[in-house]
Amino acid sequence: MINPKYNYLTCGFDKLAEDYDYKNRPDPDRFSKILYDDLIEVFFMDLGAINKIQQFNMRDSDDPKKNNASWTQYFSLNKYDPEYFTKDEYKQPPFFTLVWKNFFLSADYIGPSVNWAEQRECSRETILNIMNVGRTIGGHIVWPRGKGETVNQARGGDKAFYDRIDWTLFVLKAYYECKRNNVVASGFVRQKYPQIEPHRYKLVLDAIERYSEWFSEFDDFPDFCDRFLLIDSFVNESYEIIWMAPANPMLPEDYDGYVQKCLDAIRKRNSAIMDKLTARYYDQSANRYFNTTVDADVRGLYEHFLKYVPNGAKILDLGCGSGRDAKAFLNMGYDVDAIDGSEELARLASEYTGIQVKCMDFNQLNENSAYDAVWACASLLHVTSQNLPNIMARIRRALKTSGVVYASFKHGDFEGVRDERYYTDMTSERFAGVLNKTGGFSIVEEWYSDDVRAGNNTVWYNVILRKV
């Protein structure tokens, strides 16, 4: 399974060394087989796309020294790939292409530019951080190629957007909206930002139009954003662009601030990617998971929790899984809502509980003062530590005054992929750090417990919070 800490520059999880030669770094967008495999797994698994490897002969105009350097890049990025191509002085190194229908798609890095960070005299620490965070899965997207200058080529450099993804998405949104309304997109952009030289956005609009067949595969801009998991990172819930820096000047003056916002967006997108893959795991394992958890006896947990919950109170079962706990609370006379991120588990839980369980991401929890209590049994443990304060803030907003929360996590300091899912293990000290970032909660109880399922040796960290 994909890991959001995996770096496609290093082919591993270690941070770049302080003396890393980034001026001669390889290009994962061309040569990383793993990157293309991962892009398919995240964005195209349901569409049947393939990772196509290609290799061309050298042209007479090719520089042999540059070609040798490209071969070095290829081997450095594919050292774990069992399929090695024999190096041939007449051949260029292989490169990868994502193929779907009749479209050839190339990976594109969407994070801050190392080149422009240097131009703005950012520190070496900042530049290394760009590559440590930006070259994870959340820092990549795909654009079509094969018919001339591509979107990633058009948006790069000082001729257009200095590689800014916020400007690229703004122009793409203008393209969709103006096409729907049968107006000229360049005129719309000019009216919005008259101080920007028209040739900049026209280059990108021309590239989008050149590949209009590909962009027509999406109903509209929101459909594009949904496919590539851009919500809450690069666009907001209303699909408005989240600007990483002021729209003008095009090259941000505070490039350090621009870097920070971009990297935060990439981290958030990594969280969304992990949420999607974890939900997919539960969709595929729904029946087995339902059968192994629905009869687990957690009455001891109910006793801890319900002494703080008034009779007949409204409870949200956040990540209800099989629906075991939601049904128990319903049988006790409570008013219960339940949600789960897995479509299949939501369906099974709906059948089991007799209520409509919503399939929704925790990031979509937008209620205000709606619940007396929130029950999050073994569900928040799949949220990344980066995103957990945001989810806790959403839970707090959904609670009524003095409302309570129960949450449980596997005990420990581990964070990452385990058993095909993303886990954030927890300790008392670690959770205190989460609450410091969130604010607005006091700890009522916390304790450790053994797993109630036979043969399972997991130790659980349990906590009950009150909204203050």
DSSP 116-132: HHHHTT--HHHHHHHHH
Any domain includes 433: yes
Residue 318 has pLDDT above 90, yes or no: yes
315 plus 445 within the same structural domain: yes
Domain boundary among 260, 280, 300: 280
Does residue 201 surpass a pLDDT of 80? yes
CB 350 within 8 A of CB 356: yes
Based on the domain organization, do 125 and 86 belong to the same domain? Answer: yes
Its sign, for the CA torsion 211, 209, 152, 239, is: negative
Provide the pLDDT for residue 85: 60
Give the pLDDT confidence score for residue 102 in this predicted structure. Answer: 93
The dihedral over CA atoms of 257, 263, 265, 270, expressed in degrees to the nearest 10, equals -170
Dump pLDDT digits (tens) for 8-43: 999 999 999 999 999 999 999 999 999 999 999 999
Final residue belonging to a domain, choices 253, 280, 307: 280
pLDDT at 94: 82
pLDDT value of position 79 = 67
Specify if 187 maps to a domain. yes
Higher pLDDT, 323 or 58: 323
- Amino acid occupying residue 136: T
Q: Which residues have CB under 8 Å from 128's CB, separation 6+?
A: 15, 16, 18, 20, 22
**Tokens representing residue 329 in the block:** 């609370």
Q: What tokens does 171 get?
A: 């122009």
> Each residue of 88-128: pLDDT tens digit?
666 788 889 999 999 999 999 999 999 999 999 999 999 99
Q: List the beta bridge partners of residue 263.
A: none
What would the mean pLDDT of 349-370 be, rounded to a whole number? 96
Q: What is the pLDDT of residue 207?
A: 97
> Are 323 and 309 within one domain?
yes
Pair 107, 221 in one domain: yes
If you average pLDDT over residues 70-87, what whole number do you get?
A: 69
Q: Is residue 103 part of a domain?
A: yes
Give the whole-number percent of the chain exceeding pLDDT 70: 96
**Domain annotation covers residue 11:** no
Structure confidence at residue 457 as a pLDDT band (50, 70, 90): confident
Q: Measure the CA–CA gap between 120 and 244, rounded to whole angstroms.
A: 16
Structural domain count, the chain? 2
Instruction: For residue 1, tell me if it sits in a domain.
Output: no
Are residues 260 and 344 located together in one domain of the fold? no
Band of pLDDT at residue 81, cut at 50, 70 and 90: low
What confidence score (pLDDT) does residue 267 get? 96
Q: Residue 245: inside a domain, yes or no?
A: yes
Query: CA-CA distance, 437 to 217, in Å (whole number)?
Result: 41
Domain boundary among 280, 305, 336: 280
Q: Based on the domain organization, do 300 and 421 belong to the same domain?
A: yes
Domain that holds residue 455: 286-467
Residue 334 near residue 315 (C-beta atoms within 8 A): yes
Is 417 found in the same domain as 268? no
> 389 pairs with which residues across the strands?
none
Mean of pLDDT over the chain: 93
Residues 220 and 345 in one domain: no
Greatest mean pLDDT range, 77-91, 180-194, 314-328, 439-453: 314-328
Q: Among 28-32, 50-54, 87-91, 402-406, where is mean pLDDT lowest?
A: 87-91
Quick one: 222 and 297 in the same domain?
no
Per the confidence metrics, is the pTM higher than 0.85?
A: yes
pLDDT at residue 80 is higher than 60: no
Q: Are residues 293 and 262 in the same domain?
A: no
Is residue 16 situated within a structural domain? no
Higher pLDDT: 455 or 295? It is 295
| Nearest Cα to Cα of residue 456 among 286, 279, 298, 275 | 298
One domain, residues 328 and 186 = no
Closest by CA to 221, choosing from 185, 258, 270, 254, is 185
Cα–Cα distance, 228 to 40 (Å, whole number): 11
Q: Pick the range with the lowest mean pLDDT from 62-76, 81-95, 245-259, 285-299.
A: 81-95
User: Is residue 98 a part of any domain in this protein?
Assistant: yes
Of the pLDDT bands very low, low, confident and very high (cuts 50, 70, 90), residue 353 is very high
Same domain as 219, residue 333: no
- Confidence tier at 61 by pLDDT (50, 70, 90): low
Pick the closest to residue 178 from 197, 150, 170, 164 (CA basis).
Answer: 170
Beta strand 335-340 pairing with 314-318: parallel
Structure tokens at 44: 């195209």
pLDDT at 296: 92
**CATH number of the domain that 317 lies in?**
3.40.50.150
Query: How far is Cα of residue 249 from the mean position of the Cα atoms in its chain?
Result: 28
Question: Would you state the pLDDT for residue 86?
Answer: 61
